Structures are given as structure tokens and as C-alpha cells.
Amino acid sequence: MSKPYLTGHYTPQVDETTAYDLRVEGALPPELSGRLLRNGHNPKPGVTPTHWFKGSGMVHGIRLRAGRAEWYRNRWVHTPALDGAPYLTEHGPDLTASTAGTHIIEHAGRLLALCESNLPFELTADLETVGAYDFDGKLTEVMTAHPKQDPVTGELHFFSSSPFPPFLTYHVASTKGELLLSEQVPGATASLKHDFAITQGHVVFIEGTVTFDPTETSGIPYAWKDGQPARIGVMPRGRGGAAAIRWYDIEPGSMLHAANAYEDVEGRIVLEGPAVDRRGFQTSWNWWVGAPGRGSEPNSRSFERQWVIDPRTGTVSERNTDDLVVEFPTINEDLLGREHRYQYAVCFPDDRGMGNYGVVKYDRRTGGRQVRLVGDGRLPSEAVYVPAQGAGSEDEGYLLTVVSDLHADASQVLVLDASDLGAVPVATIHLPRRVTAGIHGSWVPDQD
């Protein structure tokens, strides 16, 4: 039986290609001058990984400038793992033997392809591989695939997580890419820590009920364990903050991706993001490894959730805020760590009438939501927000999403009006091939 992550929207591309002067319907706004980059797992022909996350990373890029879509290109991240080098060697883990297939970001003039169990890999502006990047030798651990760049200071916050002590280390890099701070975080466990959040004054870590399991045979040694406490850790930002971390117990569950976190007017920390229960995690895991009992999609029963942590009382209140199956939350990142009104996500088909994939917009002030379905046989990628020139409101801008179309065996980039998902697309960019469904990406404006 074919693995689900090698079929349909997830069928890997077999080569690297470049195309120029892409066809555009509508009009690309002139402020869209930069690169839309998207990473994902794409094993080489003949390779069947034991887990979706074990597939080698491939980055897809679309270069926009002066109202034109100048090029599309896709490139594998050429790490030792792409050519079969093992992660574990007789000398210990090889932190360069990476899939580098989870995310791609820009910081301090470098494009970094990320996978949380390895060092980042630097790419050129044309997506050619430069090599492993270790912050001038100062980073000797792995790097999360979900670093956070503070929109005010420009500093990059990230962490290293391990199933073995020290379980968690917090890092900060300067706007020039210099590693300024590395502190081990006390009290952490072997629980899976895929993402985290920052606020103006705090760093927020999430430990769910999924933890290290050496008996797991997929190559990703984690599993749901009822005995693993679910917790949120809150520590002050800045040097010495790790020593002051406080851990708060929460209900069992697992959250892969944080939408945002902030301090409210009462001094409480508000954290939001999609989360799954045990059943949701197991059906997703079965899809990721190609086991029986899986859902038809990689995300199942993943609902938007909110936690409110009150440091004064030491308590946490939590609730689901919507009943859509969603993942890949995004916001206007000018508000990262600050209270935001609007939030975006990809919504998935479910068993209650949502028959197609789409993009959803939440208005946290009114409690409303707007859903734009993309049509039968079509799958959107994580929607990346780009502000309009001179934007006067939080949602005055564009959502960029790469849509895979199985019926046409093709892909397009939809440029949607973030203020009204129901409006006709601002522009549609036709790509020269179908882009394999992937994970995360970024918009890198030319000034960066």
C-alpha cells in the first residue's frame, strides 16, 4: 500500500527546475517585491521514508517584482541526509544530517532552512545550498523550526529541545545574527516541544502529552503518553529569565503550532493555537507514518484553543474557541507578541459538512469567522500575510497561499485580500508545475 504522504497532493516532485516570466491573472500590487518561499518534505525518487517528517526538504520559491512574477524554482536542501548519510554515527548525532524540510526563514540577511532536530541550513537567494549554519560556532545544539523574530527589537528568539538532558535551552540572536544569549531552562522534560511563543515581556513554552518514546519505530521517537503532564512554562525575557520560569498544569493535549501570545491589560498571558486530543493526535500520527486507523488528512480534530495564564493566582483557564478543523495559524507578524485582532489558518475537510479545504480568517474582537474554500481537489498552503503599502489597519494587506490542484495537476499562488476573503483574488500566479503539499514558509521582502 502506498504511503499517504507520497500520494495525492503529497506526491513528491522528482527534479529541480526553474521557470521565468510566470503568467499572472489580475494585477500584482507593486509592494509585493520579494520572494515567497515554502518548505516541505520531498524525498528523492526511489526513497520511501518511514515517516512524513523524514522526507528530505525541498524549498519552492516565487520571485515577485514590479508587478511581475519573475521566476519559480524548486531546490532540495542539499544536506548529508539527502544523500543517505545517517543522523546517528559512531561518534554520536550528526547535527548536519538534516531533512531541513519544516520551515524557511530570513534573519540577518541569511535564508535558513529549518528542522528542529538539526542545525539550520543556509541557502542563497536563488535557493542553492550554502551549508549548515551554527552562528559562528556558538550553536552546538539543534534549533527549533519555529523561531520568533520580535517585530520591535528585530532579535531572533529560538530554542533547542532534546529528549535527553538538558531538555530545553533558550537562545537569542541579534539583528546581525550574533548569538547573544543561551540559557538552559530548568524543570523541562522530554515532552515534544515543536513551537513556542513570545510576548513583550515573556517567553512561553508548551509541553504536551506527547513525549519521547524509544520504542517508536518510525524514526521520530515520540508518542502520546497519558503519564506525561501537559504544562505551559512562562519565563521573563532577558538574561537570567530561565531561572525564574514557572510551570502551569493544563489539560492533556498537544499543540504543534502557536498562533500568538500576549499580555492582556490585567497582566495575564494569553496563548492561542490549534490543539488535538488523544484521538486527534493518534489519527494524525497514523497518517504521518502510513499506519492503519488514520484519517484521510494529516490533521484531524485540531481545533483552535485559547489558554489564559494568571501569574497572580497560578491558574490557567482554557477552552476551544471554534469547531473548525484547522492548522497552520498565521497573523500579521507586526503584532507578534502583542494583542492581535485577526488570525488566519488552513481549514480541513471534516465529518460535519466541511467538504473542501480552505483559508479561514478569525476576528477575535467580534468572534466572527470568514471561510474561503478553494474548491474540489485543491489544497492551500499556510497563508502568509503581507501588509499593504501604508496599511492603516491590521488586516489591510494580502494573504499569499500556494494552491495544489489535483484535477489540473498544477498549482497557483493566490493573492487574497486579507480584509475580505470573499473578494475576487487580487492576483493569481500560474506556476509551471504542481507544488507538493508542504509545511511552512515565509515572505521575504527585498529590503531584507
**What residue numbers does the annotated binding site for Fe cation cover?**
146, 194, 257, 440
Contacts for 301 with CB less than 8 Å, ≥ 6 apart: 276, 277, 279, 280, 283, 325
Residue 90's contacts (CB-CB under 8 Å, 6 or more residues apart) are none
- Those residues whose C-beta lies under 8 Å from the C-beta of residue 304, and which sit 6 or more positions away, are 259, 272, 273, 274, 320, 321, 322, 324, 326, 329, 343, 345, 362
Rounded alpha-carbon distances, angstroms, from residue 4 to 10, 222, 402: 8, 20, 20
> Cα–Cα distance between 7 and 213 in angstroms, integer?
28
Binding-site positions? 146, 194, 257, 440
The answer to whether 382 and 360 are in contact (CB under 8 A) is no
Q: Which three cell numbers stand for residue 74?
A: 524548486
Q: What is the DSSP string of 29-44?
A: -TT--EEEEEEEE-PP
Q: From CA 430, how far away is CA 78, in angstroms rounded? A: 27
314: helix, coil or strand? coil
Q: Cα(236)–Cα(394) distance, rounded to whole angstroms?
A: 27
Phi, psi values for residue 346, rounded to 5°: -95, 130
Strand order, beta sheet including 303-310: 260-263, 269-275, 303-310, 315-320
Q: Which cell goes with 97?
A: 544530517
How crowded is the C-beta side of 183, counted as CA atoms within 13 Å? 19
Helix (H) or strand (E) holding 285: helix 278-289
* Residues forming beta bridges with residue 418, ordered by sequence position: none
The answer to whether the beta carbons of residues 322 and 369 sit under 8 Å apart is yes
315-319 contact pairs (CB < 8 A, 24+): 315/248, 316/232, 316/248, 316/249, 316/250, 318/250, 318/251
The C-alpha angle with vertex 111 and arms to 110 and 116, in degrees rounded to 5, equals: 115
